[in-house]
Chains A and B, each alone.
Chain A
Amino acid sequence: MQSNPITAAFDRARAARRRALVPFLMSGYPTREGFRAALAEAATLADVIEVGVPFSDPLADGPVIQAAAAQALKQATTLAQTLEDIAAYRLEPQASARGQAPEPTATPSLTLRAQDGFTPPVVLMLSINQVLAGGAQNFAQRLKAAQVAGAIVPDLPHEEAGSLNAEFAAHGLALLNMLAPTTSPERTRAIAQSARGFLYLISSAGVTGTRDTFPSETLAYIKRAKELSGAPVCVGFGISKPEHVRQLADADGFIVGSAIIKAQSEGRNIADVLQPLRQAL
């Protein structure tokens, strides 16, 4: 099994002495073309990109991401389309951003991304029912074929994840574990120690969406997770501002979702959100 590209992305950020940035984009939002452009744009500032495959009944999401999922579903966004767009981005992010096929003779210009030619790996975020629809094995094969590095399945807790984990391991993919502030010490240990890719820390109780500040317990919670985790620790749910990154400085990375979707819905550039965060890392 080759080393997972998520691990390599975190190593690269650590070598540059900064924390990692993980933007979340919704496939098919605001449109298919808009999503493809956002992927290429996010690639210039991201270490890993999380791509949501829209679901009709997302339980862990707040109003902003729910609305984006509903809009993407209205445009009939599917897993297959999402994987096509990601595969195109993996080949040549800027070409896909312009909606063109890569030119085989031209040397790809990577200056927009990074000097070292780094392309951020992609992980999917979706509901377990979307995985079960085509079966776990088929899902893992399709992710592998599209060069997706792994997946986050928020309604698949550790205890239920056995068979999907086995499929993912067989295909060199990472099923990302999630921790919540409510997780018991025993379960925290089991979840953190078996973490692959990165360990996703839900910052505080509640659905996804912007929070002003984080409770003081959040810092101790991040520390505890880092001590136990076999993988980098990233915080998500409510991260939108450089102050958040500074307040939760112990984390290895930060996941930013609703703030990006909100910027897209207002017609703003997603770099408006990502650039200040990147500078605070």
Chain B
Amino acid sequence: MTTTAPGRFGVYGGRYVPETLMANLIALEAAFEDARRDAAFLAEFQSTLAHFVGRPTPLYHAQRLSQVYGGQVYLKREDLTHTGAHKINNAVGQALLAKRLGKRRIVAETGAGQHGVATAAACARLGLECIVYMGALDCERQRPNVERMRLLGATVKPCDAGSRNLKVAINEAIRDWIANPDSTHYLIGSVVGPHPYPLMVREFQRVIGDEARAQFTRVAPRPDAVIACVGGGSNAMGIFAGFVDDPQVELFGVEAGGDGATTAATLNTGRPGVLHGALSYLLQDAEGQVLNTHSVAAGLDYPGVGPEHSFFKDTGRARYETVSDTEALAAFKETCALEGIIPAIESSHAVAFARRLLANRPGLRVIVNLSGRGDKDLPGLLAKGLV
């Protein structure tokens, strides 16, 4: 595998947290290593994925997009999972693990709200208390998800500090965990954070890639390329995990290019640093202060990125490209009009890159991870007159 030292992907990753959290991280690592080898735990996880999440999700041949883009486009339909995004795979996995650890209280952060909704649903099902931190800006632009979390019994705590987005939500979730280390599990929603989170979240998300790889064999032995959007990078790492050992499959991560002036393109414009417990590429100034980001997609609006993506960038195993707000919105509309699918604005970044790739290299067979559905985006996008 790609872990080069315990808790590291090349030089990236590690565990840079206040001492109060170290015992929890060590216990979590042990519990995860134990659980992933426990047939009963795996059976419960698989059963939950089948009957609660609704897996496997289809690998859908998008014929009209294929025709317009000039290749063969296959969409991995994570938007069809329960709660509408890939986030649920990891949420149910970690919630089962939290229960195994004897935790009664879950804290989570959310950007677009999909991880918050998934965590609220997983907690409701297991009878766990759920607190979700969400940037005040994201509460405004993802209103439907705030209401869904409340209906599912979660307490949503808006975070008004600084950038009012995903970064401050993670800050507050970590501070809550520091204050409640015994009772609480921090159910992080991406392949970011201190070890074991990047590894654990990848393993809970690899079902996307494992399914897609098996499903694609009906078409051909392997696709030419796999494309996924990257904020923290969990949907990308989930689908990449199925193909990383197939050297003939090109892997593309798509970052948010924002409005051009301000972006969230961490791997394209950042340099290595530590945020939220891991060494990885980071958008920062010369003093090491973390920079503000901008993206039309709340779920990509993050100055950090999962450490394994940094490793893939340096080794060249994956390439990381950027797509602007405008390109993503165009792809959003095309997917609606040509395929009858409303994609999340985050996932629309991946679709937009597929268009660019096929324009340059026509005829490729590509899998795009359609990581979530776009219902959550409609009020915000309509209010701004963007769709």
Contact = CB atoms under 8 A, between A and B. Distances in A.
Interface of A: 55-57, 59-60, 62, 66, 70, 73, 78-79, 127-134, 154-157, 159-160, 178-184, 187, 191, 202, 205-207
B251 to A, nearest CB: 28
Given A57-B290, A130-B287, A132-B288, A182 B273 contact: no
Task: Across the A-B interface, give the 5 residue pairs with the lowest CB-CB distance, nearest first.
Answer: A133-B288, A180-B20, A206-B179, A60-B18, A180-B19
A57 B287 contact: no
Interface string B1-40: 0000000000000111111111110100000000000000
A158 to B, nearest CB: 8
Contacts of B290: 56-57, 129
A230 B157 CA distance: 43
20 contacts: A56-B162, A57-B276, A59-B171, A66-B161, A78-B287, A128-B16, A131-B288, A132-B272, A132-B288, A133-B286, A155-B18, A156-B16, A157-B15, A180-B22, A182-B24, A184-B26, A202-B18, A205-B179, A205-B180, A207-B178
A160 B14 contact: yes
Most chain A CB neighbours (cut-off 10 Å) among B15, B22, B287, B289: B287
Contact of B178 (A128, A184, A187, A205): A205
Contact of A206 (B178, B274, B282): B178
A191 B284 CA distance: 31
Contacts of A159: 15
A57 B282 CA distance: 13
B167 interface: yes
Main secondary structure of the interface of B (DSSP, over half): mixed
B380 interface: no
Contacts of B277: 155
A157 B22 CA distance: 8
B300 interface: no
B364 to A, nearest CB: 39
B175 interface: yes
B153 interface: no
Given A57-B290, A133-B286, A182-B24, 5 more contacts: A56-B162, A133-B288, A180-B23, A182-B21, A191-B19
A191 B22 CA distance: 12
Contacts of B287: 78-79, 130, 133
A133 B289 CA distance: 9
Interface string B157-181: 0000110000100010011001111
A79 B289 CA distance: 11
B201 interface: no
B162 A70 contact: yes
A129 B284 CA distance: 9
Contact of A129 (B24, B26, B171, B273): B273
Contact of B20 (A55, A129, A184, A205): A205
A182 B22 contact: yes
B181 A205 contact: yes
B131 interface: no
Contacts of A129: 273-275, 282, 284, 288, 290
Nearest to B22: A157
Nearest to A79: B287
Given A73-B289, A207-B179, A180 B18 contact: yes
B178 A60 contact: yes
Contacts of B16: 128, 155-157, 160
Interface string B348-385: 00000000000000000000000000000000000000
